[in-house]
A and B are shown apart, each in its own frame.
Chain A
């Protein structure tokens, strides 16, 4: 009987609340887990996610601002000296190249692009020597 009384004292809404809380928690854990798995699955693809427009613009600006030492005409009396490279800003060519591979599928023109850093090992520095 005691048992029955206890049963009678429980309001029907309480069981409903427990049930709904359980469903809500399960849903939350389930979604979190699902997101985690999804995130891990996408991680290898992160490097090819297109950068923001701002980042690309910066790269382009840097590329286009590489200075060229002007030739003098008529010839100058004395040659100007070059600035040591240690003080100069490294070119962004190498960092700009991955942006090319991030092109969306709607731009098929960039498929055949060869980034500079891929070619670097092949490039052979020239030699300065007396006339050959």
Chain B
């Protein structure tokens, strides 16, 4: 009888679902946790901590110090070492279509200040340049230090948000949650049992019309991310820009009549979903050769969901 009592008390904590929305990392965070209330508090602290480490607009962040290091070894937090590994691998795996070294180009076209706090500015040494090969990056595990190639800088961008979602979701499960769905600016990581027949439902936003959606997918453990040229836009010298940079030219991706303007990808980790969504958008392909679940929208309004994507369609 005692063991039965213990089990029931455990169920009480397992079945508490909490959903919160709050700003972080220059975006909106949408967090659902099935577990103890303290897990929500932990999540907010952890995401805030990662933002302080990884934001290129926070002067004291690891990324800002690396960007100012001009080729010198820089001690960083273990989480930042993990981030740098992913950034280097992402550039290599996508043959440079996902390029985390485009910060100079972003600054040049006017994205040099935080969109949520214009007082926070990304300042770089004068001789930095975009589109730098990161394969010679040195990571010293023993002393926790990173050395970037000369003139190289890092912009974690969407990869940072995806990795943060992966890390925090994993940590919440490790702390007793039975289900987690964490969206950071649309990069979403699900883990454990969701509230809809054990699954999580994710709505895919329309790139230009907030009143419409492109459908709903059903995930258990996994992730989905979307990259869109309509997401962050601003005017510089009366010219409208977006934040998806064509690495070779260091300028916003050119959009013609039938270009892909939004790409969503499902993967095991949000960090890779984000990388391949950006690769699809910049590389102008639907990832047919990669056997990844992919949904694309073109500027002419047409949508294309590959066979893998349809396996996750909830409708």
Could you list which residues of chain A lie within 8 angstroms of chain B, going by C-beta atoms? Answer: 50, 53, 56-57, 59-60, 63-64, 66-86, 88-94, 96-97, 99-100, 103, 107, 109-110, 113-117, 119-120, 122-132
Contact mask for chain B residues 177-215; partner A; CB cutoff 8 A; 1 contact, 0 none: 011010101111001111111111111110100000100
Which residue on chain B has the smallest CB distance to residue A79?
Answer: B272
Query: Is the pair A132, B28 in contact by a Cβ cutoff of 8 Å?
Result: yes
Query: Is the pair A81, B291 in contact by a Cβ cutoff of 8 Å?
Result: yes
Query: Is the pair A79, B267 in contact by a Cβ cutoff of 8 Å?
Result: yes
Contact of B27 among A70, A90, A120, A132 (CB under 8 A): A132
26 contacts between A and B (CB under 8 A): A53-B4, A64-B178, A68-B192, A71-B269, A73-B82, A78-B93, A81-B266, A81-B292, A81-B308, A82-B219, A82-B267, A92-B193, A93-B15, A93-B179, A94-B198, A97-B15, A113-B16, A116-B34, A125-B203, A127-B183, A127-B203, A127-B205, A128-B186, A129-B186, A131-B161, A132-B27
- Please, how many angstroms separate the alpha-carbon atoms of A109 and B292 in the complex? 47
Chain A interface mostly: loop
Which residue on chain A has the smallest CB distance to residue B262?
Answer: A130
Instruction: State the Cβ distance, A124 to closest chain B Cβ, in Å.
Output: 7
- Please, how many angstroms separate the alpha-carbon atoms of A89 and B207 in the complex? 33
Query: Is the pair B7, A57 in contact by a Cβ cutoff of 8 Å?
Result: yes
Instruction: State the Cβ distance, A16 to closest chain B Cβ, in Å.
Output: 50
Q: Is B53 at the interface (CB under 8 A from chain A)?
A: no
Q: Size range of the interface on B?
A: 35 or more
Query: Is the pair A128, B195 in contact by a Cβ cutoff of 8 Å?
Result: no
Query: Is the pair A68, B19 in contact by a Cβ cutoff of 8 Å?
Result: no
**Given A53-B3, A132-B185, A91 and B194 touching (CB < 8 A)?**
yes
Q: Is B128 at the interface (CB under 8 A from chain A)?
A: no
Query: Is the pair A127, B17 in contact by a Cβ cutoff of 8 Å?
Result: no
Which residue on chain A has the smallest CB distance to residue B31?
Answer: A126
- Please, how many angstroms separate the alpha-carbon atoms of A43 and B169 in the complex? 43
Residues on A with beta carbons closer than 8 Å to the beta carbon of B264: 128
- Please, how many angstroms separate the alpha-carbon atoms of A67 and B193 in the complex? 9
Instruction: Scan residues 82-131 of chain B and give those whose CB is less than 8 A from a CB of chain A.
Output: 82, 85-86, 88-90, 93
Which residue on chain B has the smallest CB distance to residue A89?
Answer: B198
Residues on A with beta carbons closer than 8 Å to the beta carbon of B133: none
Query: Is the pair B15, A115 in contact by a Cβ cutoff of 8 Å?
Result: yes
